[in-house]
Structure 1
Amino acid sequence: MYTNRQFAYAPTPYIPRAALSATINLDEEVKLSTTTTERDLYDSLAEIYSIIVTLDALEKGYLKDSITEADYTETCSRLLKQYKSNLADETVAQAFGDLETFKREWNMECPRATERLRIGIPATVEQGPTHKGAQHGSDADATLVVAATENFITLMDAIKIGLVEKDTLHPLLVDIIQAVNKVTDKEFESKGKIVQWLITLNQMRAAEKLNDDQAREFQFDMEQAYYGFKATLKKE
């Protein structure tokens, strides 16, 4: 039934060489890092990864109303601070690259965390509390209006005298968005510009400055937001 067939080639048998030997101990644990510096770098990158994942879950929980606004604000603020603190290290920042690159490298899908990291402040600060609206016509309201007005003036004065570093402007802008949200829950002209500039400043390094064109545009947008804020109060 079977016939002898000749192969077109003659397979060469494998003959192991006695000189071959393992170069590593297979029972030895493989380490990612060999120095303290490398270990610290990997620890920081791992912490950033966990922060992004945790922040995304937190944002989902907030949208589903499964966490109180106070707990959300506290936890979100802490995560954002930890994220920025890790990236303040030049070595970590260089290895991290940017958020989109890091997400691609580690196959991460965290759209809600991505948006929150872009803005740099909790949703409760950006949009104001959702559980209650602003109260009108009281002495407390008058105090809040004065505080918001002073925040606008402080920011615009800082721009006029050339204080256009990120670490100067960003806190002042956060104060403004918090102050106006305490006064009114209504949208007003150029309020969106405040958030847009928060995003722009949040992407900058602490010591980076706005250039002349950016500074002029920023000042113009903040003036328009201030006028929009005052116009809204007159309608209420």
Structure 2
Amino acid sequence: MYGQRQLAYAPTPYSYIPTQSASISLDERKEVKLAANNAERDLYESLAEVYSIIITLDALEKAYLKDSITESEYAETCGRLLKQYKSNLQDETVSKAFVDLETFKREWDMECPRATERIRVGIPATMEAPSHKPQAAGDSAAAATLVVAATENFITLLDAIKIGMVEKDMLHPLLVEIIQAVNKVTDQEFESKGKIVQWLITLNQMRAAEKLSEEQAREFQFDMQQAYYGFKATL
């Protein structure tokens, strides 16, 4: 099982002692500092953490594709790794040193196509296209509760757009709540459901303070209304 495998995190060396060579005796060895101060040390720690998150995420995606991990374990772990990845890069110094994912991968010679795609999408694969049956299947009372919750999430999002809340950090969490809510109600595809995922990807690639343009906001509102109508049609 994947859960039994311990994935090593990237080392974060701040100093090292050179090995013995012909020109340096054991008595002459000196510690060589890699971090000049605490700020540099913190930066190295954060970059090493990002590196390890990417490697771990790639291994997780492989394990999920091979059915070596349950959907619930995958979703929980993937969601946590994505949050940790974003959290590290919220630091301006870390973000500047990181540049972007492709640059970071080239610098450290990383081959991680599955992690790259998951980071691009920004949500676990189980949220894109759930393969499980709805949680409330066969339980009418629970199903009704989930339908109400999903409906409220749609209305909250649409109301937010109407009053001009078009910042990425406002819309993305609401959209995540919608896709989670509808997946609990139904695993069927419905009109414009794919648009929800597409907009999640679009928002995921924006900076937290970025806003949708007026044209994007109108398109987003239209797509979400169509998704809402499509969701209701499946009930």
Q: TM-score, normalised by structure 1?
A: 0.82
Counterparts of 2:75 and 2:139, CA distance in 1? 28
Displacement of 1:98 in angstroms is 0.9
**Which structure has the larger Rg over C-alpha atoms?**
1
The aligned residue for residue 96 of structure 1 is 98
Once the two structures are TM-superposed, the CA of residue 66 in structure 1 deviates from its matched residue by 0.9
Stretch deviating more after TM superposition (139-148 or 43-52)? 139-148
Cα displacement (A) at 1:145: 1.6
CA-to-aligned-CA distance 1:31-85 (integer Å, 9 cap, x gap): 3221111111111111100000000001111111111222222211221111111
1:225 to 217, 220, 227: 227
Give yes or no for contact 2:166–2:212 (8 Å, CA) kept in 1: yes
Residue 133 (structure 2) aligns with: 132
Letter in 1 for 2:179: I
TM-aligned CA distance change 1:99 to 1:85, over 3 Å: same
- 1:49 corresponds in structure 2 to 51
Aligned partner of 1:4 in structure 2 is: none
Moved more, 149-158 or 33-42: 33-42
Q: Which residue of 2 aligns with 1:189?
A: 191
What SS class does the counterpart of residue 33 from structure 2 fall into? coil
- Contact residue 166 and residue 206 of structure 1 kept, 8 A: yes
Q: Is the 8 A contact 1:126 1:178 kept in 2?
A: no
Unaligned 5+ segments in structure 1 are: 1-21
Residue number among 154, 157, 165 corresponding to 1:163 in the alignment: 165
Unpaired runs of 5+ in structure 2?
Answer: 1-23
Amino acid at match of 2:100: D
The corresponding residue for 2:4 is none
2:35 is matched with: 33
TM-score normalized by structure 2?
0.83
Query: How large is the Cα RMSD of the aligned pairs?
Result: 1.9
Q: Which moved more, 1:210-219 or 1:69-78?
A: 69-78
Structure 1 residues 131 and 191, CA gap change in structure 2 (3 angstroms): closer
Q: How far is 1:91 from its partner? A: 0.5
Larger mean Cα displacement after TM superposition, 49-58 or 182-191 = 182-191
> 1:15: which partner in 2?
none
**Distance 1:33-1:189 versus aligned 2 partners, 3 A rule:** same
Q: 1:67 is matched with which residue?
A: 69
Q: CA deviation at 1:29?
A: 3.3
Alignment: residue pair count: 209
Q: Does structure 1 retain, via aligned residues, the 8 Å contact 2:132–2:187?
A: no
C-alpha separation between the residues in 1 aligned to 2:35 and 2:28? Answer: 18
1:204 maps onto 2:198 in alignment: no
Q: Which of 95, 110, 113 is equivalent to 1:111?
A: 113
State how far apart, in whole Å, the 2-side matches of 1:32 and 1:214 are.
46
Tell me, in whole angstroms, the C-alpha distance in 2 between the residues paired with 1:177 and 1:117. 17
Residue of 163, 169, 172 corresponding to 2:174: 172
Q: Identify which range, 38-47 or 139-148, moves more after superposition.
A: 139-148
Cα–Cα, structure 1 residues 26 and 71, in superposed 2: closer, same or farther, change >3 Å? farther
**How far 1:132 moved relative to its partner?**
2.8
Q: Distance in 2 between matches of 1:29 and 1:54?
A: 31
Q: Distance in 2 between matches of 1:32 and 1:224?
A: 55
